[in-house]
Amino acid sequence: MTEHWMSLFEDRYGAGAYARLMEMFDRPCVTFAEIAGQFGVSRERVRQWHRQLLPDAPRGHARKRLCVVYHQKRRLLEDPLFRSFYEHARPHVEPGRITLIPTREGFRRRAVRLDGATVALKKARRQADPAREHDVPAFILTNCHRQVDYIYYRLSPEEYLLVPANALPAERTTFLDTPASKYQRFRNTFAAVSAGAPSVQQAS
CB-CB contact of 148 with 119 (8 Å): yes
Q: pTM here?
A: 0.77
Read off the pLDDT of residues 23-67 as tens digits, 9 standing for 90 and up. 999 999 999 999 999 999 999 999 999 999 999 999 889 999 999
Read off the pLDDT of residues 60-97 as tens digits, 9 standing for 90 and up. 899 999 999 999 999 999 999 999 999 999 999 998 89
Read off the pLDDT of residues 161-197 as tens digits, 9 standing for 90 and up. 999 999 999 889 999 989 999 999 999 999 998 765 4
Strands of 85-202, DSSP E: 98-102, 107-114, 117-123, 125-126, 138-142, 150-154, 160-164, 172-176
